[in-house]
Amino acid sequence: MEPARFIRFWKELKRRKVFMGIIAYGASALVILEATEIICNAFGIERVPPWVVILLGIGFLVALVFSWIYDITPGGIKRTEPLEEPELPLVSKKIKTYRLTTFVSVILIIGLLSFNIIDNAKSRKFGRLEKTMAVLPFTDLLPPGYESLVFNYIGEEITACLSKIYTFKVLPWRVTSNYKKGNKSYNKIGKELKANLLIDWKAVEIDGNKRLTIFMFNTEDEKLLWSHDYPLEESWTEISIISPEISRSVARRLKTFLSQEERAMINEIPGSSRASFIAYKGSFIAQNALYLYELGNRKTELSVFDEAIDLYTQAIQIDPDFAAAYANRAKTRSWGIYTGYYDNSHLGKCRDDIEKATNLDPDLIEADIAMGFYCYYGLEDYKNALVYFERALEKQPDNVDCLFYLSLVYRRMGNWEKVASISAEALKRNPANALFYTNIGLSFDYLHDFEKAIECHNLAIESLPEWAASYQNKVESVLMLSGDTEKARAILEQNHNMTGYNIHYTLARLNMYDGNCESALKNINIAYPDDSATDGDSLLLKAQIYMHCGSRNKAMEYYQHAINYFTNEVKYGPENSGALSKLGLAYAGIGDKTNAIKYGMSATELMPVDKDAINGPNRLYDLARIYCMVGEEDLCIELIKKLATIGSLFSIHFVYLDPDFEKIRNNLNIIQLMKQVRN
């Protein structure tokens, strides 16, 4: 095109107001898109349908042609005349009205555009952020007549549903459920929980009308990003019905596109909210009983396993297709077998429930976990337990529970390389559970990474400061790391102050290690007066202290008591490897070499390391002590060398602490092992 013709064409476009038409249409199109998105979101549609964009594209072409042919004037829409036609005079009043209308329209369009730009800028900001969120626990006064478990259930349901969105990193409910938020600001809570988004909520009941209000805050500036009131018709347990809408609303506000798979998972609502809550109650009771048992509270009333199973049965009666209830009922039976409350006759019931759950839902992760427990606790089939826990982890890669279960199985199998990697991964995911932390710490003890073990025991103490076992485990880690009895005493003192735990037994042991006979005897007699030293371990420790403090007759007396005690244990449990090795130690104490080695060897044969990598090394350690006590130093040293190279709760420092090993301390092999540790 010639320059002159192009200039004339450009002037004609301006005269016909084509550019103004394009700008006006573009602004209107943006407003239409924003309004369409708002309407779509209100109906649960995450994105503007493609046909809307196509129509707006077609509209652009129509607007372009319309702007060329027609002009909007105060006198109405008129066809644009050729340039040669004389322009008609405009009435002054009409001109003013036209200008005012145009000005107001422009202001409105600019306002809407500005709102759209600012809102989209905020959305893009959240789109770039890692969406790490935490659902805070309910801290208001409970409405009359309700137990706290109901409101714990609400928090867990909201957390579980939000966790189905892959781009959200939602802190597990076990992390936040016991969080003490008090009067802290949302900014401080966010820093402590390492979350940039917080979901807070209130539950209000007035005249029987229940209402749940959900809030979402940005922890950086503490601004309210979203809130909504949800009325509940009958029960608080209806949270399982409204939690999908909560998740969708949060996703929409954060401009998070949900895949078809995510939408399907979020929209999956249990058949009955009542059945769901009853099953949750059963799970809570069973898990709490197991937790207390694992924490060392052997007086826990394990009959609650029966109560939990009854609750699962009620849930199944309400909803016969409730697959997770079958799976969790099987898991509870496995725990009952593990604790000794149920006998092996319950194994068949476990298997039936797992098969029913799998038939109802082949992809159910709870069914895989239940099968893992069935193999691990019920059958002691560690290889197949591994298969099912790994399958569960494949379905839910962020499940820290599955990682923990896997670490236990690999630990039992002696695959310490796997134990190390899985334990480290579990720590990264913040299990926030004292039992998990201390077990991971024990794994690092077996790996002889005592510094990492101490770190885990510290986390367990921080998580549950009233639990004495974490302090005791830390004492052992410190002794294995450095043999520092003073540090161990300081930890014991902390244990006593925080838990009221009787530390005199361990203090007596430390006193014996230091050669302080007077304090050792004093503390062991405080821990176990003569008429109360009835368990085998206390009898053996008393005998050992008396022997190394020069009271041989007293020592012989207690060694004989220990022989009687463990002989009875072996009689009623011939496969009790721990009782066999302790019986061997008692015979070594009285100088009966034949029986000492016999029982010590029987224990290692019954529980070899390749069968059980947790208990097997303990039997080797007991046999090493027996060999040293009866004068078989060379055999003792061979076992010490083995214990130093395999996963075990052994450190060369024990050779220099425990007086039973006094005879081998100057051996060149032992000296060399100590040099390696120090280097």
- Summarize pLDDT for 194-203 with one digit per residue, the tens: 899 999 999 8
Instruction: State the pLDDT confidence band at 565, using cuts at 50, 70 and 90.
Output: very high
Q: Are residues 136 and 253 in the same domain?
A: yes
Residue 265 sits in the same domain as residue 275: no
Question: Out of 26-30, 401-405, 578-582, which region has the weakest mean confidence (pLDDT)?
Answer: 26-30
* Residue 85 confidence (pLDDT) above 50: no
Domain total of the chain: 4
User: Is the pTM higher than 0.85?
Assistant: no
Beta carbons of 445 and 476 less than 8 angstroms apart: yes
- Residue 323 included in any domain: yes
CA distance 31 to 161: 33
pLDDT of residue 94: 47
Per mean pLDDT, which of 34-43, 280-289, 296-305, 613-622 is the most reliable? 613-622
**Highest mean predicted confidence (pLDDT) among 23-37, 229-243, 520-534, 636-650:** 636-650
Same-domain status, 357 and 239: no
Mean pLDDT of 640-653: 94
Strand partners, 228: 214
Q: Taking residues 329-357, what's their average pLDDT? A: 94
Residue 88 pLDDT: 44
Average of per-residue pLDDT across 211-240? 90
For residues 510-516, average pLDDT:
95
Report residue 135: phi and psi, to 5°: -95, 120
Predicted confidence (pLDDT) per residue in 15-25, tens digit = 656 666 666 66
Pull the structure tokens for residue 119.
Answer: 């809102």
Higher pLDDT, residue 605 or 183? 605
Residue-averaged pLDDT of the chain: 84
Which amino acid makes up residue 354? Answer: I
pLDDT band at 300 (very low <50, low <70, confident <90, very high): low
Residue 660's domain is classified under what CATH number? 1.25.40.10
* Mean pLDDT value across residues 442-460: 94
Q: Are residues 265 and 291 in the same domain?
A: no
Name residue 169's beta-bridge partners: 132
Token reading at 199: 């979901």
Is residue 256's pLDDT more than 80?
A: yes
Q: Give the residue-averaged pLDDT of 450-461.
A: 94
Mean pLDDT of 234-258: 88
- Which residues share a beta bridge with 231? 211
The CA distances from residue 27 to 15, 35, 67, 540, in Å, are 21, 12, 15, 88
**Cα atoms in the Cβ-side hemisphere of radius 13 Å centred on 336:** 26
Q: Could you give phi then psi for residue 647, rounded to 5 degrees?
A: -65, 120
Token pair for 607 = 């529980």
Residue 64 has pLDDT above 90, yes or no: no
Q: Domain range spanning residue 232?
A: 131-269
Looking at the chain, the number of H-run helices and the number of E-run strands are: 31, 7
Q: Residue 91's CB: how many other CB atoms inside 10 A?
A: 12
Q: How many Cα atoms occupy the beta-carbon half-sphere of 101 within 13 Å?
A: 9
Q: Is 580 exposed, middle or buried (0-12, 13-18, 19+ CB in 10 A)?
A: buried
Side-chain-facing half-sphere of 160: CA atoms under 13 Å? 16
Q: Which amino acid is at 624?
A: A
Of 54-63, 143-152, 490-499, least confident by mean pLDDT is 54-63
Domain assignment present for 481:
no
pLDDT band at 264 (very low <50, low <70, confident <90, very high): confident
Place 91 in a pLDDT band, splitting at 50, 70 and 90. very low
Domain-ending residue, one of 269, 296, 324: 269
At 259, is the pLDDT very low, low, confident or very high (cuts 50, 70, 90)? confident
Q: Do 364 and 358 touch, CB atoms closer than 8 A? A: yes
Closest Cα to residue 196, out of 216, 214, 174, 166?
216
Whether 431 is covered by a domain: the verdict is no
- Whether residue 108 is found in the same domain as residue 199: no
Residue 447 falls inside a structural domain? no
Taking a C-beta distance cutoff of 8 angstroms, is the pair 282, 308 a contact? yes
- Taking only the tens place, the pLDDT of each residue in 389-401 is 999 999 988 888 8
Select the more confidently predicted residue: 532 or 219. 219
Joined together, the tokens standing for residue 186 give: 């949302």
Structure confidence at residue 157 (pLDDT): 92
Same domain, 239 and 361: no
Phi, psi of 215 (to 5 degrees): -125, 145
* Residue 13 banded pLDDT, cuts 50, 70, 90: low
At residue 610, does pLDDT exceed 80? Answer: yes
For 423-433, write each residue's pLDDT tens digit.
889 888 877 78
Percent of the chain with pLDDT over 70: 79
Question: Are 297 and 264 found together in one domain?
Answer: no
> Are 238 and 324 members of one domain?
no
CATH code (residue 248)? 3.40.50.10070
Q: Which one of 397, 429, 462 terminates a domain?
A: 397
Listed in sequence order, the DSSP H helices in 447-590 are 450-463, 468-482, 485-499, 504-514, 517-527, 536-548, 552-572, 577-589
Residues 33 and 99 in one domain: yes
| Residue 533 · residue 542 · CB < 8 Å | yes
Nearest residue to 371 (alpha-carbon basis) of 392, 401, 394 = 392
CA angle 405, 157, 429 (to 5 degrees): 35
**What does the pLDDT look like over 374-388, one tens digit per residue?**
999 999 899 999 999
Q: Is 533 part of any domain? A: no
Examine residue 475 and state whether it is found in any structural domain, yes or no: no
Q: How confident is the model at residue 273 (pLDDT cuts 50, 70, 90)?
A: confident
Instruction: HSE, CB side, 13 Å, CA atoms: give it for residue 576.
Output: 15
With cut-offs at 50, 70 and 90, classify the pLDDT of residue 515: very high
Q: Are residues 138 and 264 in the same domain?
A: yes
Chain-centre distance for alpha carbon 23: 54
Boundary residue ending a domain (269, 289, 311):
269
Residue 214 and residue 228 in one domain: yes
- Same domain as 142, residue 262: yes
Calculate mean pLDDT across residues 560-588: 94
Establish if 404 belongs to a structural domain. no
